[in-house]
Structure 1
Amino acid sequence: MSGSIQPQHTVFALDCPDAVALAEFYATLLGWEVVAEDEEPDWVEVRPPGDAAYHLACQQVEGYRAPEWPDGAIPQQAHLDFYVESIPDAEPRVFAAGGTRHEVQPSEDGSFVVYLDPVGHPFCLCRS
């Protein structure tokens, strides 16, 4: 078998205790749009403007437990990196949207900063 799949669209889904609330956080942070369907209230999408081939989704799950990064019983499993021109200029938007700066900052040269979304998923702002 050769070749690869040719996805028409890519979605990165995040488990969470409240799909609407987490989608609103990422929409505020990124300037994207929340798209929720009445028939699927536990799945809410966050889409960039235009016809991008990617977006985020927030999936509400029972018994959600936040990752304990960098060490802990509940591993991170995945995280998002957002490349920005200036981390100091972008950071206030993280706080305004409801995110927090993680106490652990492994970057020695400041090329990325680790944050937590409102339900504990680590994500990074990275210098372009």
Structure 2
Amino acid sequence: MTSPITVTRTTFALDCPDAVALAEFYAALLGWEVSFDPDDDHWVEVQPPLGTPGSHFLAFQQVENYRAPEWPEGSVPQQAHLDFYVPDLESAASAAVAFGARRHEVQPSQSGSFIVFADPAGHLFCLCKESNLDA
């Protein structure tokens, strides 16, 4: 039997037209920090402040001819999305819009337990009521 790999860090990377700008959006939204090599701004990371538990990072990779996902239907399908669980959904939604997110026109939650947004590059993410963790 093969043993599982040892993971010291998890990074979720998103393609985008401007890696620095999208990293700055997520850093502002989450209160995280931007990190990148000044000689290579085509790969930019966002990480929680030092001392924050966990090892999850976001990364943004600048690509030529980027096309935003078209959801729920379109020629460029959604390949992934991020879910952020928050204690106060409306407050977090207001902050997301203030930082540059766009509330998506399609909102499939009938109970209002989550809100779908598009980031400035068109990637989808959801803000979810914290109580949904056990749902």
Q: TM-score range by the shorter chain?
A: over 0.9
Query: What RMSD, in angstroms, separates the aligned Cα atoms of the two structures?
Result: 1.0
Q: Which moved more, 1:31-40 or 1:21-30?
A: 31-40
- Offset at 1:114? 0.1
> Residues of 1 paired with 2:72 and 2:3: CA distance?
36
Q: Which moved more, 1:75-84 or 1:42-51?
A: 42-51
**Normalising by the residue count of structure 2, what TM-score does the alignment of the two structures yield?**
0.91
> Residues of 2 paired with 1:66 and 1:74: CA distance?
7
- Offset at 1:41? 1.3
The letter of the residue matching 2:125 is: F
- Offset at 1:70? 0.7
SS at match of 1:41: strand
Deviation string, structure 1 residues 8-62 (Cα, Å, up to 9, x no partner): 0000001000000000000010000111112321000001112541110010000
- Offset at 1:92? 1.3
Deviation string, structure 1 residues 92-128 (Cα, Å, up to 9, x no partner): 1101110010000000101111000001000000011
Task: Provide structure 1 residue ranges, at least 5 long, that are not aligned to the other structure.
Answer: none
User: In structure 2, which of residues 79, 100, 103 is the aligned counterpart of residue 101 of structure 1?
Assistant: 103
Task: Provide structure 2 residue ranges, at least 5 long, that are not aligned to the other structure.
Answer: 131-135
Paired positions, count: 128
The aligned residue for residue 12 of structure 1 is 12
User: In structure 2, which of residues 70, 73, 76 is the aligned counterpart of residue 74 of structure 1?
Assistant: 76
> Residues of 1 paired with 2:124 and 2:56: CA distance?
20
> Residues of 2 paired with 1:54 and 1:38: CA distance?
22
